[in-house]
């Protein structure tokens, strides 16, 4: 009992400061949350516009429940890319585990869900100089105009050949694999759901 009283007497400032700064962080987070969400939505919209430049607007088409790579149900929003009210493609987020943290991608496909328009990195904490090369044209361009089917990562090959074989980034095999796995997991399930509804 004496030890507890001594501990409380010696650590009251630390306990009070921890409570105060924890409360301050919670209030700050709540205050900034709308702006953070607005920035995320703008980044998604900008990425979608780059991937499907012929679209003049993007509208929420439907919410689809898919399974994450760990088997948990996840709700994903699929946006329809429109040009003068004609569907020219679909865009959606794809999320999965990378080397350092989760990776969030924006993936675009054509209106028939048969061909990929490409992907853009919405969020990534991959290793600078290695894993973050998933944003570089060398890797990224391999996904443009390829069949929207199961992709395979290979260590060597010609990245200019547009097929289902994606050449890994040297020194960043984990990040390269992560992108392919994230796209395979999300794209194939969304295709199945969308084609099933049609």
- In a domain? residue 2: no
- In a domain? residue 20: no
- Please give the pLDDT value at position 8: 62
- In a domain? residue 107: yes
Q: Mean pLDDT of residues grouped by 10 in the chain (198 residues)?
A: 65 75 78 76 89 94 89 92 95 90 94 94 83 86 92 86 85 88 94 77
- In a domain? residue 22: no
Q: Coil, strand, or helix at residue 11?
A: helix
- Please give the pLDDT value at position 12: 66
- In a domain? residue 16: no
pLDDT in tens, 106-157: 999 999 999 999 999 998 888 787 778 888 888 999 999 999 999 999 988 8
Give the number of domains in the chain: 1
- Please give the pLDDT value at position 61: 92
Q: By residue range, what is the domain housing residue 56?
A: 42-197
**Residue 75 β-bridge partners:** 65
- The beta-strand segments (E) located in 68-150 are 73-83, 86-97, 102-109, 116-123
- Cα separation, 139 vs 131, in Å, equals 11
- In a domain? residue 12: no
CB 20 within 8 A of CB 59: no
Using alpha carbons, select from 120, 128, 89 the residue that is nearest to residue 103: 120
Query: How many Cβ atoms sit within 10 Å of the Cβ of residue 51?
Result: 22
- Please give the pLDDT value at position 52: 95
Query: How many Cβ atoms sit within 10 Å of the Cβ of residue 77?
Result: 13
Q: Coil, strand, or helix at residue 59?
A: strand
- In a domain? residue 129: yes
- In a domain? residue 6: no
């Amino acid at each position: 009992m004496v030890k507890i009283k001594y501990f409380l007497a010696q650590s009251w400032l630390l306990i009070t400061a921890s409570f105060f700064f924890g409360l301050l962080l919670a209030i700050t987070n709540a205050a900034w949350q709308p702006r953070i969400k607005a920035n995320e939505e703008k980044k998604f919209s900008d990425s979608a516009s780059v991937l499907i430049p012929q679209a003049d607007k993007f509208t929420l088409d439907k919410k689809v429940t898919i399974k994450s790579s760990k088997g948990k149900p996840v709700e994903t929003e699929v946006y329809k890319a429109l040009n003068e009210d004609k569907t020219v493609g679909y865009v959606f987020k794809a999320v999965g585990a990378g080397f350092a943290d989760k990776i969030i991608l924006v993936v675009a496909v054509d209106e028939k869900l048969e061909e990929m328009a490409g992907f853009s990195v919405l969020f990534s904490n991959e290793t600078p100089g290695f894993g973050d090369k998933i944003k570089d044209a060398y890797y990224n361009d391999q996904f443009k105009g390829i069949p929207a089917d199961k992709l395979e990562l290979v260590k060597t090959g010609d990245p200019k050949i547009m097929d289902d074989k994606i050449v890994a980034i040297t020194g960043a095999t984990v990040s390269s694999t992560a992108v392919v796995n994230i796209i395979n997991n999300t794209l194939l399930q969304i295709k199945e759901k969308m084609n099933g509804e049609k």
